[in-house]
Every structure is written in structure tokens, then in C-alpha cells.
Structure 1
């Protein structure tokens, strides 16, 4: 029998743990010749998530848990589950039930057809705001434009990876890991399955604007140095603009025998170019910060306890 590992990061998901475990069991009750394990990764939860996981692990043999020493973030938590998964294929998904467990059947079917990576493409239900849909679409378009890999619009961390692919991920030691980009960068034989995101079963999402912005910058800087080239291009562009503008100013002064005065225009020009310089320095600083974090070679996560 082939074994499927389900990796589920959980941060303050005490109300969803039992629900998703029950639905996964129902899915595999209809699948013959497959056994499974569910690896919950407690990513520094402050509620009773760990207590719920220990209770489930005592009741069901397939339930495993990894408790991290603090909140390391979604991507390191997924990486922790992948590192300890033992299945012939590994499926990663969220604990809030927005990733429907019933789609596991389709993921496995595509894997059996010979695909090494089966990713999912998310579409939003009608009740999701127009702003959320547009901002998400613009983010993926911008990310694909500015990075060296193509990121599928509507991509998520709900995917299946063959054990050979998981072995490659285990051997990667990136300080800021970005699994959505890595799955595209690695290659292999891939296919996608569309799905409509469900509603969160219980609780509130901890994925706030700050974390979304950090995730966006991680995705942009993890796979490309194009922002550095853009900074250089901006420098050349504004230098040329300054030379041309100064030339026009000199010609105007000679022809009209006047001069353009006013401290407001001067101050605005200084502020504008000062802002451009800060943006460029910020881009360089982000890359230097990533190098700083990488050379220290600290682990992506620290395990406090586990039941296997």
C-alpha cells in the first residue's frame, strides 16, 4: 500500500484541528490501497491547539504532531512537516478548511498519472471582496514579471509532491524559504487543479497585512535580482532626466533672460530624489539582510516536542 503524508501547519487552530482530521479520514475511507499520516505542525500557537493535537494523537494512530518552540511562520512550519514526512507522496494544506480535503482524491489521481508535483489554483467565492481578488491577481502578475520563475496566479500551498521532490526540498537550506516559488523553480513534471477556496471553519485568520507584505517581499527577493537592476535603471533614468532638465533650464534662461525661482520647487525636487535614493538603498538593504541571515546558518525552525 502506498502511503500519503498530509502536512498541516497550525497557528491558533484549536477549533479546526478535529474537523479537518475527520474530513481527511472520510476521504481516505473511500480510497483503497492507500494508508496515510497527518502531520500537524504547531507553529507557536497561544491557544489550546497543542492540547487538542495531543488528544487526537492518543485517539488516532495516523495523527502526528510537531510542536515548534515559537512562531516561525507558515513556510518554515510547512518545511518542518516535509522534513519528517515518510509518505510516497506528501500533501501540504492549511488547517482552516479553506483548502477542501475532498480535493485530495484528485491530487492523488494526477500523481498516479505520473506527475511529480500537483499544485492547486485558487479561485475566490463571490462573497470575497473585489479588492481582495484584484490585489491578489496584481500581486501574482507583478511577482511573475519581476522574478525569474513563473508563479501561477491563484497559487497556494495546497499541493502534492512526490517523495523524490520532497527529498530535494529537504536538502535546501534557505533562510527565507518560499515554497510556492521553489515548486516552480525545481521543474519536474507538474500539473494544476483549480478549486474554490472555502470559508474558514472557526477562528480568525492571523495572516494580517504586515505578514502579507513580508511574504510578498520574500517571494520577490527569493528568486530574482531584478529589483537591483531596476534600481540601477532608475538611477540612469533620473540622471538623464536631470541633465536634460538642467539643459532646458539654461537655454530658457538665455533666451528669455529670466530665471526660474522659488524654494518650493527646489524643496520638492530634493524630497523626490531623496525618496528615490531611500527606495534604492532599501532594495539593496533587503538583499544584504538576506545574505546576513543566510551566512549565520540558523535553522528554519526549532522543535520543542513531537510524538514520533
Structure 2
């Protein structure tokens, strides 16, 4: 592991409470490895902490494993979503319910080293509100995956109006005020890497070497990665709409020039227009461009439709707070809904 930040700042204060948010989905047998590594790091840091596991509708024994760990470690909290909502929503749920002065987001597979949290805290002590891990190498990934990730981040930087750092994932530390700002963003289609950058505040990178998975398998295939990339581009850029407009203008200009050439050739040289093959090729090309343009428009209209429905981002099936945290929270919205902690506890606007 390589890092370009100190592991601590002598004399600087530690967070009053450190929350570690960990989304999990079908990670039976992996959470134990993660807990062993994370517990060691939290013990070394020495400040009060909670580990918030967010189960995204797992169908294996993930919840059972987390509950067993919680029985032995009072720092563990468990949020179980009512179904599989996707990683971005699971991250949102965990961040909504994290109670720390400082919140760290990390994956359970240990590709992102928990040891780096010490360097994150040092940068927070130096005055940064957001400290993100920036990958130098990506072990355990295919050349195709590395190439597509490289192209995606560079494309996003070119198209987006938000400066999204290259080669970064969800692994990062956020101050309480950055988290409170993030919780104001309640759009249905969530691209968290973009939202992390959008909230602004003082941010810095800590570079590191990303390891291969310690156990289990990734839940992302290439189709899911494609949809994820599409989500990111359409959430933070209108460039596809502009491209469709430019292509339309260019196609119209080409068709106009071609028409003049055909008419002039026929009038001057008496050369008749060639038969149906050329006509069919032009029609198919124009039809294809129109369908692509309609598809691009449909992506944005569909997102507008989802936003107007006003549905909650997620529903909680179970909420088990960390027993070690002095102030025990049950239902964040019990005062408004009168419902028990295991009922629906998500609202469009978070209550703080």
C-alpha cells in the first residue's frame, strides 16, 4: 500500500465518534474477514466508533453473520433494507443513519485497505472535509475492466460540470457538515461519486495501491457497469442531448449538400440518381440516428418521471443501532410517524 499522507498528526484531536458505513450484498463469509481487519484499525485509532453494515436485501447468510458479530462487538450497527435497492441506495441509507462526527465509506471486500483510515483522519485534522482514496494500481482486475474504468473516469471529467476525481471509488472520509450537505440531495437516480464531488468543501486525495478481493466475488458484471456509467453520465451532464443536437445538424447539412449534388449532377450531366440500395442506406442511417436520439431523450424523460413520483429512496426492514454508542437512536422519524424502529424510516428530506 502506498500513501502520500501522514498516518496521524501529533497533538490533533480525534473525532468524537467515527462512523464506518459498509454496504453488503450476499457477502456471507466475507464480513468476518472485514470485521477482523476493521476492528484492529479502530482499536489502533482509539476513538469511539460504530460500524454500520447496510444489508441490501441479501439472500444468503450475510445478515446472520452480521448479527453474530454484533452480539460480540457492541460497535456494530445493522440496517437491513426491505429488498435489493442497489449499492448507491444502500450507501445513502448508511450515510443517513451514521451518527459520527466523521463518516468513512468503505467496501466489505477489503480491496480498499482499512489502514488508510488513519491517513484520512490526519487529512481531516488538517482541515479537509472530504478525503478520498485515489487508486494507483488495481490488482485482481482484468485488462478490460481497467481500460473501461480509465475511459469512464476521463469521459466523466470531460462531460460533467462537476470535477469528479479520476481513479476514485466510494472509499472516503467525510466531515459531518459534508454529510449533512449530501443528505439534502434526494434524487432517485444516484451517482454517489458525482454527489460526493458536487457538495464541494475542501477535499484532498490519498493515493494507495488497491488490492484484490480477499474472498467472495464481485456483484458487478459488464452490463451492470454499463448501466452504472450511463447513470453517472446522465445524472451529471446534458452532453448526450447536445451531441444528439449536433449530430442532427450535421446529418441535415450532409443531406442538404448531397441533395444539391444529386440535383446538379442530374441537370448538368443527365446522370439519373442510382437505384434503391443507396436510398435504403440513407433511410436506415437516418432512422438509426433518430432512434438513438429518441433513446437519449427517453433516458432524461424517464428520470424526470421517477423524480415526480416522490417515492422514498428505500425502506428499512430492520434497524439495530450500535450498543456502544452512548446516545442510542431508534427510529429517526418516530416522532413524526409514530412507527416502531423496524418500520419505514426513510423520508424525502432527512430530519436532523
Same structural fold, with TM-score higher than 0.5 when normalized by the shorter chain? yes
Match of 1:14 in 2: 28
Count of matched residue pairs? 307
Task: Work out the CA distance in 2 between the residues paired with 1:15 and 1:199.
Answer: 16
CA deviation after TM superposition for structure 1 residue 27, in Å: 0.9
Could you list the per-position Cα deviations for residues 73-110 of structure 1 after superposition, in whole angstroms to 9, with x for gaps in the alignment?
01100000000001111000111111111111111111
TM-superposition CA deviations, 1:238-270 (whole Å, max 9, x none): 111110111111122223321231322221211
Native 8 Å contact 2:139 2:211 kept in 1? no
CA contact (8 A) 1:124 1:133 kept: no
Greater helix proportion: 1
Q: Which residue of 2 aligns with 1:271?
A: 284
- Counterpart-to-counterpart distance in 2, 1:303 and 1:129: 36
Does residue 170 (structure 1) correspond to residue 183 (structure 2)? The answer is yes
| Separation in 2, partners of 1:297, 1:210 | 28
- Contact 2:182/2:199, CA 8 A, preserved across alignment: no
Shift of 1:203: 1.5
User: Residue 25 in 1 paired to residue 39 in 2?
Assistant: yes
- Tell me the TM-score normalized by structure 1: 0.96
Q: What does residue 171 of structure 2 align with? A: 158
Q: Which of 96, 102, 106 pairs up with 2:119?
A: 106
Task: Measure the CA separation in 2 of the matches of 1:241 and 1:302.
Answer: 52
Deviating more after overlay: 164-173 vs 280-289:
164-173
SS in 2 for 1:176: coil
Using the alignment, how far apart are the partners of 1:125 and 1:115 within structure 2?
Answer: 26
What SS does the aligned partner of 1:120 have? strand
Structure 2 unmatched runs, 5+: 1-14, 322-352
Cα deviation, 1:29-85, whole Å, max 9, x if unaligned, reads: 2223x1211000000111100100111111100011100111100110000000000
Which of these residues, 226, 232, 245, is aligned with residue 245 of structure 2? 232
Measure the CA separation in 2 of the matches of 1:39 and 1:84: 8
Mapped to 2, the partners of 1:129 and 1:208 lie a distance apart of 12
Q: Which moved more, 1:162-171 or 1:81-90?
A: 162-171
TM-score by length of 2: 0.84
Task: Using the TM superposition, give the Cα deviation of residue 127 of structure 1 relative to its aligned residue in structure 2, in angstroms.
Answer: 5.5
Residue 217, structure 1, aligned to residue 230, structure 2: yes
Gap regions ≥5 residues in structure 1: none
User: Counterparts of 2:196 and 2:221 in 1: how far apart (Å)?
Assistant: 24
Change (3 A) 1:123 1:264: farther
- 2:179 and 2:243 map into 1 onto residues whose CA distance is 34
Alignment partner of 1:49 out of 53, 59, 62 = 62
Equivalent residue for 2:259?
Answer: 246
Confirm whether residue 80 of structure 1 aligns to residue 93 of structure 2. yes
